[in-house]
Structure 1
Amino acid sequence: MSKLLESINQHTQMAGENRLELLLFRLNSPQLYGINVFKVKRIIPTPAMVQLPDHHPCIVGIADTMDGTLPIINLNTALRRPEAQAHFNTVIVTEFNHHLQGFMVETVEHIINLDWPAIQRPPHSTGRHHYLTAITEYENKIVEIIDVEKIMDEISPKTSSAIIEASLPDNAQHPQKILVVDDSQVARQQIKRSLTAIGFEAVMMEDGKEALQHLRKLVDEGHSPIEEYLMVISDIEMPQMDGYALTRAIKETPALAELHVLLHTSLSGIFNKPMVQAVGADDFIAKFDPTSLAQAILEQAGHSPPYVEAGAAS
């Protein structure tokens, strides 16, 4: 296990090369699951836990670890899989959205190195209610990459009271559309609600490749993306083309280079900041803070109107 963690630490330089490292694990079946190693802080034996009254059914308990007190989530239950018969003796401690949590799994396998183009969206036949953000293949086996944001949103949903509201001037001269690029359905809807609350229209794309093709098509048809969109808000982890590669492609294309790109990701590790600068992104905000997101958008639009949180006292 210590060698596995050393491998995680050694591979953080992969970011920005349109490649990623997946930590593979299993639950109570031969199916392989994957999580980006950048979300993994450490792997520990299942610790002693304290039960809390009225806790979410996916939360096994609260554990005191070297990272502090954190909830331990039964990933098998969260994915609504059949109840496990195996002993889940391992916890993957993760960090994203500035929060720490542990995912209890059966076994941790190893780390694989992939190019983002090898990561594909789930087939449409899987419907809308699955918990996958992408799939890939390893040694002729399907690896399911879990939509952690959807799981955490169900366990601890974001409330509408956190969304700020503002009114834009009727004579606003800037574009009122924003290109949103994110492979998570939950994240897209969260961002859309925030943009709608401050008077902007969200145009949704599911990965960097789709977004770049859309922007280039606008140019080919004689339109100016700068006049079409106020900015691009992009996730980093996405199948086919990640947010770093999308940003670099935008900034290296003369007709797109002036587009303001804000990277918006649940990867809250400090390694993101120098990488954001290296690929030429204009801003970086960790998910999901609707107030910070709205402030960044309004600043780019050149507005500083008074705003209130929805439901706040007047």
Structure 2
Amino acid sequence: MSGILDTVNQRTQLVGQNRLELLTFKLMTRQRYGINVFKVKEVLQCPKLTVAPKMHPLVKGMAHIRGLTVSVIDMSLATGGPAIPDPENRFMIISEFNRTTQGFLVGSVDRIVNMHWEKILPPPDGTGKENFLTAVTDIDDELVEILDVEKILNKISPVNEEISDEVLSQKAEIEDENSEQTEIILIADDSSVARRQVRRTVEALGFEVLLAEDGGDALRQLKQIATQEDIVSRLALVISDIEMPEMDGYTLTTEIRKDTRLKDLHVVLHSSLSGVFNEAMVQRVGADSFIPKFDPDELSAAILNVVKIRREKNDK
């Protein structure tokens, strides 16, 4: 099973084509789940775990993997299911999210499936706010659920969402007392936790927020605004996740650059995806920058810098 990702570097060619590859797995039931291969570093049989005092109830233990100690999260428990028994006879998915590396204990690992993002759909209505789904898809006439891993990780180790006073002090330097309108920032992200985090940051800086749950939703909103007013003068920037149902962030950026009304919008890709391909893809699709999730100071500083340059340009 450790060889399932041997060709992961070759898979970067899928990026920018609105395609992805899902690693599918099961927990303690017949239900299949999926995770983007780009977030997976390794798949291996779970080693013997070390238990430490006062660990979070969802953490099964710690594992020492290739010189790195990682927390191993029971993915079944984390999503409201029964604990996964006998860990050493199960599999562990080592992944990178939000600048951290962790292991996810799962019941079994299935296979890698090449998918088009258009086939990845938002969770159906009625699943409720407490669900841990970010999307669903159909594979071999079977519903596969894609988990909101950022929501799970935030449940175990909430990230700091407060902007430091030092960064907030920079806000006064760019305040425009003559402006009659508050600039708008559009946030596109399929994770409810990520949307909330970015929204809090943007609103703390004093900007209005538009929310989109995926790339397709974001593009529709942008085009609708563009039919009513000069969108570039009203919208300060677009902050977009990369992984999203229907249309990923790379494709969204490409579509923005193709539309003459939208092409001058400032686009920041903001993702938990890791990998050396990010910077190259930012340039290829025409995004202005890439910021890893989630550091409120780093994101705030980037937003303030964009707005400062924008206002200085308008004042000339």
Instruction: Render the CA deviation track for 1:47-75: whole Å, top value 9, x for unaligned.
Output: 12221111111111111111511111110
Shift of 1:85: 5.3
Q: Mark the runs of 5 or more structure 2 residues left unpaired by the alignment.
A: 310-316
Task: Kindly report which structure 2 residues correspond to 1:86-97, keeping only aligned pairs within 5 A, or say none.
Answer: 89-97=90-98
Q: Aligned match of 1:246 in 231, 252, 262?
A: 252
Q: Aligned match of 1:198 in 180, 187, 205?
A: 205
Structure 1 match to 2:312: none
SS in 1 for 2:276: coil
Do residues 101 (structure 1) and 88 (structure 2) align?
Answer: no
Task: Kindly report which structure 2 residues correspond to 1:1-314, keeping only aligned pairs within 5 A, or say none.
Answer: 1-66=1-66, 68-84=68-84, 89-162=90-163, 165=168, 166-167=171-172, 169-171=175-177, 173=179, 176-221=183-228, 223-302=229-308
Q: Return the alpha-carbon distance in structure 1 between the equivalents of residues 57 and 244 of structure 2.
A: 29
Q: Which has the higher helix share?
A: 2
Q: TM-score w.r.t. structure 1 length?
A: 0.92
Instruction: Render the CA deviation track for 1:253-290: whole Å, top value 9, x for unaligned.
Output: 11111100000000021111101110000011000011
Structure 2 match to 1:306: none
Give the alignment's Cα RMSD to 1 decimal: 1.8
| AA aligned opposite 1:271 | F
Q: Which moved more, 1:78-87 or 1:284-293?
A: 78-87
Q: Which moved more, 1:203-212 or 1:156-165?
A: 156-165
What percent identity do the matched residue pairs reach? 44
Contact 1:175 1:227 in 2 (8 A): no
Q: Return the alpha-carbon distance in structure 2 between the equivalents of residues 159 and 99 of structure 1.
A: 14
Q: Mark the runs of 5 or more structure 1 residues left unpaired by the alignment.
A: 304-314
Shift of 1:204: 0.4
Shift of 1:192: 0.8
Provide runs of 4+ in structure 1 moved above 6 Å: none
Q: Which moved more, 1:7-16 or 1:211-220?
A: 7-16
Contact 1:28 1:85 in 2 (8 A): no
Q: Return the alpha-carbon distance in structure 1 between the equivalents of residues 160 and 38 of structure 2.
A: 27
| AA aligned opposite 1:242 | D
Contact 2:161 2:296 in 1 (8 A): no
Q: Return the alpha-carbon distance in structure 2 between the equivalents of residues 97 and 60 of structure 1.
A: 20
Q: Return the alpha-carbon distance in structure 2 between the equivalents of residues 95 and 200 of structure 1.
A: 31
| AA aligned opposite 2:241 | D
The alignment of Structure 1 onto Structure 2 pairs a total of residues equal to 303
| AA aligned opposite 2:153 | M
